[in-house]
Structure formats: structure tokens, C-alpha cells
Chain A
Amino acid sequence: DAEITQSPRHKITETGRQVTLACHQTWNHNNMFWYRQDLGHGLRLIHYSYGVQDTNKGEVSDGYSVSRSNTEDLPLTLESAASSQTSVYFCATGNSDTDTQYFGPGTRLTVL
């Protein structure tokens, strides 16, 4: 069965460190998205990609970067982690001809 996996599922890091969160999908979807979810906010879009070599900034992209070298993976990098980036991060995929996005299980990141 097609799926989306995220790793790690939980991560604790220190302020200033570089952190990379992995997202891997076997849906063969062109579109991939990274969101963060915080209390009092809906899921907010960080970055997204419509295909290989394509990346775009979302609503809250400062301090984050992504790269898309193949269809299956969209890693999210925090260049220098800050306490404000403590959150739950969800990866999602979809195609333009599907009416939904499919979400991965999430990564809980704590920045101390």
C-alpha cells in the first residue's frame, strides 16, 4: 500500500543546531507540502513543491529550507534551530487531480 513516512517521529535538539526532518512517500504524487501545527493555530504551510527541482515558500518559511531531488522525498531543514520552532511537523502529498492531501504521521520537534 502507498504511504507517507516521516522520520524521526520525535526529536529533541538544542538552539542553534541544524536539524533535518525526512518525508518519504510512495504515492508517486507530484505535490509535497510541509506544515507545522501549534496550539491556537491551524496547520500552517512552511514550504511546498510541485515536482522535482521545484520548491516554494509558504506562509511561515523563515528559518526553514527544502530541496526536491526526486519524486519520493522532501526533506525539511532547520538551518539554526530556535525555540520558536518547537512544534509538530506534518508532511503531506497530493496530485492536482486528487481532491485531497494525504498526511504523514508527524514529527514532534522540541528545541531547548
Chain B
Amino acid sequence: GQNIDQPTEMTATEGAIVQINCTYQTSGFNGLFWYQQHAGEAPTFLSYNVLDGLEEKGRFSSFLSRSKGYSYLLLKELQMKDSASYLCVLREGTDKLIFGTGTRLQVFP
């Protein structure tokens, strides 16, 4: 089976950097996604890691260590619009996704 752990809530200040951690246990790892979900809206894709290391996309970066069952999402130069839930998601097999409960990030001025 799968188990995904991430903090329930985090707060940060506009312009700062925040790191959202995710640890997981799985018997069929085939990649890890991060999705962003604003309140009342659909999840949207942020990043995908299948190999160990850091993937950078503008202000957002995602890191993966398969041996440690660990990933993090790094958000730089935080903006108010980054207030959202961030979902750590395992890919099982070809297409099935297993979602964590999400980390609700609040950015304050």
C-alpha cells in the first residue's frame, strides 16, 4: 500500500522562501507529482520527479530522494497568490495517482 505524509498547514511571509516536505512509503513508485489547489478550484500540475534530484521551474523547485522516500517543494519569492493547498502525489503504475491530504499554505503580507 501507500502512505503519504505532509504537514497540514504552514504559514509564510510575502517575499520569503518556504519548503513543503513530503515523505512516502510505497511498493510501486513510478514518480512523484506536486499539484497546487486554490480553495474551491481544481488541482493544477506544478512538477513531476521520477529521478533523484532537483527540478527547477521558475519560482518553484521540487526535489526527490527515492532511497529516503522523501520529496520537497520549494517556493521562492512568495506572493499572496501562492496561498493554496499543495498536494504531494505518488504515481503508481502507469497512470494511477495516490494523493496526500495536502499542505495548506497561507502567505501573509
User: With a CB–CB cut-off of 8 A, which chain B residues contact A44?
Assistant: 99
Report yes or no: B42 in contact with A90, Cβ–Cβ below 8 A.
yes
B4 at interface, CB cutoff 8 A: yes
Interface residues of A in 42-70 (CB under 8 A from B): 42-45, 48, 50, 58
Counting residue pairs across A and B whose Cβ atoms lie within 8 Å, the total is: 47
A94 at interface, CB cutoff 8 A: yes
Contact string, A65-90, partner B, CB cutoff 8 A, digits 1/0?
00000000000000000000000001
Report yes or no: A100 in contact with B99, Cβ–Cβ below 8 A.
no
User: With a CB–CB cut-off of 8 A, which chain A residues contact B97?
Assistant: 33, 43, 45, 101
Report yes or no: B99 in contact with A42, Cβ–Cβ below 8 A.
yes
Residues of A near any B CB (own CB < 8 A)? 31, 33, 35, 40-45, 48, 50, 58, 90, 94, 96, 99-106
Residues of B near any A CB (own CB < 8 A)? 4, 31, 33, 41-45, 48, 87, 89, 94-102
Q: Name 17 extra pairs, CB < 8 A, besides A31-B95, A44-B99, A100-B45.
A: A41-B101, A42-B100, A43-B43, A43-B87, A43-B97, A43-B99, A45-B96, A45-B97, A48-B95, A48-B96, A96-B94, A96-B95, A99-B48, A100-B33, A100-B48, A101-B97, A103-B44
17 inter-chain pairs at a CB distance below 8 angstroms, sorted by A residue, are A40-B101, A42-B4, A42-B89, A42-B98, A42-B101, A42-B102, A43-B43, A43-B99, A48-B95, A50-B95, A99-B31, A99-B33, A100-B45, A101-B95, A102-B45, A105-B42, A106-B42
